[in-house]
Amino acid sequence: MAQREENGPHGPIGRQLEAKILELLAARAATSTICPSDAARAVGGDDWRPLMEPAREAARRLVDAGQVHITQGGSVVDPATARGPIRIRKAP
């Protein structure tokens, strides 16, 4: 159980993913987007694939905090109902 909490949304990995998403977005133009896989790769290195869903969860938390938007096809979508590939961009 401690391992799960450690790697859960409020554990070190969740916080690292949130920070990496914000860092990657800060390095891009205001209208640019990133894929959750960009953050997963940056945090997980060669073993990034298991971090895909945690990266999406981190993006949803950042949406709740008003820091980012999740988009599909260039339009902002509700992260609770978004299915399939998503992009992340800075909130204005």
Instruction: Please list, residue by residue across 36-66, b when 16 or more beta carbons sit within 10 angstroms of its beta carbon and e when fewer do.
Output: bbbbbbbbbeeebeebbebbbbbbbbbbeee
Query: Which residues, other chains included, contact 78 with Cβ-Cβ below 8 Å and sequence gap of 6+?
Result: none
The CATH number given to whatever domain includes residue 75 is 1.10.10.10
Q: How far apart are CA 52 and CA 58, in angstroms?
A: 10
pLDDT in tens, 9-44: 568 999 999 999 999 999 999 899 999 999 999 999
Look at residue 11 in the predicted model and tell me its pLDDT. Answer: 82
pLDDT at 2 over 50: no
Total count of domains within the chain: 1
Residue range of the domain that includes 30: 2-90
pLDDT at 3 over 70: no
Predicted TM-score of the model (pTM):
0.88
- 20: helix, strand or coil: helix
pLDDT in tens, 39-84: 999 999 999 999 999 999 999 999 999 999 999 999 999 998 999 9
pLDDT tops 60 at residue 5 = no
pLDDT value for 10? 65
